[in-house]
Amino acid sequence: MDAKNKTRRDFVKTGAAAGVGAAVVAGFAPERVNAQEIVWDREVDVVVVGAGAGGMAAAIAARDEGASVVLIEQNFDIGGRAILSGAAVYLGGGTSLQRAAGIEDSLEQVFYDWCLQDRPRNRYNDRELAWTYVEKSIETFDFLAANGVDWESLEGRSPDRLDSVPRRPTPRQWPIESEVIVPSQKGSGLMRPLAKSAREKGVVILLQHKMTSFVREQPTSGRVIGITAVEVDEWFKPQDQTTNIRARKGVIFATGTHAGNVEFRRIFDPRLTEEYQAHGDGWVQLNADGPIAALAIGASLWGTAIQTNEADAQLSKGRLATRSNYHALAFPPSAPNFFREKATGLSVRNWQNVVLVKENGLRFYDETAGIRDYEYFAAAMAWTGDLKKLNGGGPIWAIFDADGVEREGWNVMPPDVDPDGYFYTADTLEELAANIDNKYQWRPMPGAALRETVERYNSFVDSGVDHDFKKPTPRYKIQRPPFYAAWATPCVHESYAGVRINTKAQVMDMNAEVIPGLYAAGEAAGGYGQHGLGRCFVYGRIAGIDAARNSAA
């Protein structure tokens, strides 16, 4: 533990400053704050909560307008989930990068491709928010470039699946290896230069604090005039020190997705019970603290139908043998947050090498289904027939044998696997089932059921036909011990609903009235169901500019 903490602390010295962030546990209720009794510890023009894509853009934009800015963050480093991302940014319409590659594009075409095409997610967009995003895309691209993002060329790039022409610029990887969180991803190439620019411009960045409430002049009326926050430790646990920060012009929250708050996400989809982990929550907590605090002072949710359209990335089939198992996130042991992650996980090259079973020991779908196959996820979350567990589909385990390990070339020891509840081994299938002791496995797996499942599957390998789920030509029997069970429950990747905002990123209440002084950006805001970083940067920048120009004292 000391060595892991040393890695993290050394990283803090070289890669970050100090801060207040945004996270709450499931079921958290923001405290009621009497604005008249607050003693302010700091006072600035604009307070920004969350140092990811939306928050960093907001802080820089507000500072560019001459506002004094404090940016607060729950983690020991900046970046949010953006720093973990592949860093492809939805920005187009005729950017300088497109023109340099000879690519013709228009705002109208962007609007059609990303907002109007008849895809389930697009049907529920607030089109005013969507058009504003499109209209500000080129400005936002230029803003990011001006603040140090070094874009790769689009020459020779093919359009992505939602594009009619090449768009989605990606940055070059950040050159300082110790500040790259996930080596296979390019998110550091976005967030490190932006953080550098923010600090150089005078943004005060405070880390390892979380917001506990917004302060409004009256509980549900008047202006939002600041926040209260509490210091947290490296596990996000609150400490004794509370900080009250007054915002003369505005408070902006860009606290990210609510994927990690079980009860909040179940507002939109009751199937998403506690067994489904949240993508990236070993880096930052994803607990809906911003929206919950905003709802407590009168904000409204918006665009809730987008959340459950099942069109893109709500769930992700990913890595094995690690709790938060998004397919593209393999944290190396050198990562500063590895003490939370505990394992890199096993990447599956060929899903023919495993069978997937639910907690009852039974297969439920073709294992070779794609990582975004929504029929697979519907089957994964389907009821198993157990009256003790009506909602959710329960844990899913990948079952394989020694031959499968050899074919995949896996290391089945830590740090690649997490034996503390997410990876098991035994010499017989019955013993393997009995060994599974995971807090989300609400009943013991029936050993006889697992044995029968594997024997039936092996018969499909003999016949070449999967009579249950049509897996294409089952290839490998599971027969040589030791046998293995690895956590394979899909993780919650994305969320599209959040608080209601207008085209200035101002938060609105149930009567469609603006809550003065409060702004939201990125995945904390609802109404526009884009998967990715574009809307975070665009609306973060919009919020920063409008808050800084706010003349209210």
What single DSSP character describes residue 113?
I
Closest CA to 514 of 522, 525, 506: 506
Q: What would the pLDDT profile of 321-374 be if each residue is shown by its tens digit?
A: 999 898 889 999 999 999 999 999 999 999 999 999 999 999 999 999 988 788
The crossing angle, in degrees rounded to 10, of helices 137-146 and 534-548 is: 80
What is the mean predicted confidence (pLDDT) over 441-461? 97
Q: Are 363 and 398 in contact (CB under 8 A)?
A: no
Is the bond leading into 482 cis (omega within 30 degrees of zero)? yes
Q: What percent of the chain has pLDDT over 90?
A: 79
Q: Which two tokens stand for residue 250?
A: 């505005």
Give the pLDDT score at 22. 34
User: Is the pLDDT confidence value at 531 over 80?
Assistant: no
User: Is the pLDDT confidence value at 255 over 90?
Assistant: yes
Q: Which two tokens stand for residue 84?
A: 């973990």
The crossing angle, in degrees rounded to 10, of helices 137-146 and 53-64 is: 80
Among 44-53, 159-168, 419-428, 468-477, which stretch is predicted with the lowest mean pLDDT?
159-168
Q: Which two tokens stand for residue 75?
A: 């983690």
Residues of the chain with CATH 3.90.700.10: 315-492
Residue 551's pLDDT band, with cuts at 50, 70 and 90, is low
What is the mean predicted confidence (pLDDT) over 517-534? 91
What is the mean predicted confidence (pLDDT) over 506-526? 96
The SS3 of residue 201 is helix
Q: Which two tokens stand for residue 485?
A: 């069970």
- 135-139 long-range contacts (CB < 8 A, ≥24 apart) are 135/107, 136/538, 136/541, 136/542, 137/90, 137/91, 137/92, 137/93, 137/95, 137/107, 137/110, 137/534, 137/538, 138/91, 138/93, 138/94, 138/95, 138/107, 139/541
CATH topology of domain 315-492: Flavocytochrome C3; Chain A, domain 1 (3.90.700)
Closest CA to 151 of 179, 170, 167: 170
User: Is the pLDDT confidence value at 4 over 50?
Assistant: no
User: Is the pLDDT confidence value at 7 over 70?
Assistant: no
Give the pLDDT score at 328. 85
CATH topology of domain 2-85+177-311+495-548: FAD/NAD(P)-binding domain (3.50.50)
Q: What share of the chain is helix, strand, coil (3-state, %, to 5)?
A: 30, 20, 50
What is the mean predicted confidence (pLDDT) over 145-150? 98
Q: Are 189 and 174 in contact (CB under 8 A)?
A: yes
Give the pLDDT score at 481. 98
User: Is the pLDDT confidence value at 316 over 90?
Assistant: no
What is the mean predicted confidence (pLDDT) over 83-103? 96
User: Is the pLDDT confidence value at 15 over 60?
Assistant: no
Give the pLDDT score at 532. 75
Can you tell me the distance from the alpha carbon of 503 to that of 482, in angstroms, rounded to the nearest whole number? 58
User: Is the pLDDT confidence value at 74 over 80?
Assistant: yes
Report CA-CA distances (Å) from 145 to 50, 150, 190: 21, 6, 10
Residue 19's pLDDT band, with cuts at 50, 70 and 90, is very low
What is the mean predicted confidence (pLDDT) over 280-303? 95
Question: Which residues touch 387 (CB under 8 Å, ≥6 apart)?
Answer: none
What is the mean predicted confidence (pLDDT) over 237-257? 96
Residue 172's pLDDT band, with cuts at 50, 70 and 90, is very high
Give the pLDDT score at 30. 60
Report CA-CA distances (Å) from 45 to 55, 143, 204, 229: 15, 21, 12, 17
Residues of the chain with CATH 3.50.50.60: 2-85+177-311+495-548
- Give the chain's mean pLDDT: 91
User: Is the pLDDT confidence value at 5 over 50?
Assistant: no
Closest CA to 191 of 153, 253, 238, 144: 144
Q: What would the pLDDT profile of 384-413 be if each residue is shown by its tens digit?
A: 998 989 999 999 999 999 999 999 999 999
Can you tell me the distance from the alpha carbon of 514 to that of 500, in angstroms, rounded to the nearest whole number? 10
- The more confident residue out of 118 and 274 is 274
User: Is the pLDDT confidence value at 271 over 80?
Assistant: yes
Can you tell me the distance from the alpha carbon of 14 to that of 156, in angstroms, rounded to the nearest whole number? 37
Give the pLDDT score at 16. 36
Give the pLDDT score at 483. 98
Can you tell me the distance from the alpha carbon of 78 to that of 392, in angstroms, rounded to the nearest whole number? 33
